[in-house]
Chains A and B, each alone.
Chain A
């Protein structure tokens, strides 16, 4: 699903150049649930941004579902993001003046899906994350866990190839974190490919594979026995 070869990325800060990613080689198969771990400054967020086409790579190749991601203009990048990727953020990033259902329907709007179908689909995914009754509530009326579940529903609404989660449990207490992880595992069970950036070992243990980043290189890449989050819920 994802092939990355010899990826380099550096940021220019005035005269200094900060080499963040120093040659990453990394493949993800369909249906995997991968945790990208590392301390802050290890380059994990940069890697995720490049995977999410929010940032451009300097060197190397990135192929997503057989499509080379290279030299995209903003319109094309937006189109690819919409079609290939679903984002889950640490701070949820819901649009606060839109209801839960409208938030979920947003990616479909950019796909020019008809209004009625959009609403139906949004409701379907909200039901899947257990928030059907909250469809017409604004994000400010939801708890943190609920917000993240809306965000997950939104990420899934466009039926992307890969879900990218940046510290999805970073702003949640541990009980809620496990609920969210339970949901993510269930989605993964349906065959969706998911990448999670996290620095919490217990969250990483709930994935099927852990990629350890340090100072811009992968120091460890191992498959693990998944811990089911449902045990803690």
Chain B
């Protein structure tokens, strides 16, 4: 015989996981995210420079001969007046270069096109012009080897960061940490918001169609609430694990390709190589995943308790909007703080908000990729889970009174009074 709590949890879990909407979103979401990442690159690739013939009217006389045709773009120097060229369909664009272009490029170069030119074409043309003008200016100084000197003077600093607190000196990439922190924090935000509200709406629905009256005649109201929170939480964990497995599967396939291509290309900057190496490090990624799941569960449990209390107190979704600010305001605040935390993961603000359960899940998610000391994560987790126990105790007190209250929109003061009922 299963306990009542177990039966409630399994009903809540199975009813949701078996739904078509769950299966569809679980599969579709990663595809959508992938599409969002790939789409810009794809669009760029597809909208490469189309075949273009560009007429060049060069009043300076030095630029036009140096323009190089490349790919589908062909420059043709002409002497026809602009007005005649405008009517000529053989040219897709007309580039007009002023007399003083070398000393004063701004305002001395114009491009006339039929239809709007693609960004790639524009970039290509302005890149060529910059090179030509720069070259002309360097020559104007009449110093031998000036180009070489300038190249030698030019410097691009790349930091090689090493962690001293690790046994092994591993190179870390802060840009990667920044991206990972932002990504994980957003995922956590999305899950807490989505699944927390799911707990609330599901309680309101039960209350509304009075199935609740029948259920509490068999189980303690507290068990029903706990069962709902845990059952829906299990759905969230299922979803995140499915995604993690998909992600790991993809990385096993993609990462070696990425590493070799980065290593072979030679031109890649060291930060990139470092980032890829770190992404391919299973212990680093494994640790991230573990903390993510732990903070996700803790944050979800904490916030869904608040949502459960709110759901029990109102009759319909409309009435809930005022009370939900109790949960939404801290979540949004945590999101905003996390945005600044990824910039400076060891600031005083980051430290403090790491230990406040309202903000800690997201702030910690933003910080963990930076490799903060493990004890900090553990202390934060302990505080979070202990606060959850306190919060659910309070929520249960409100819940068992709230579910039988109909017709009136309660205030926060009333909710607090309910907690004192026997």
Q: Do A and B bind each other?
A: no
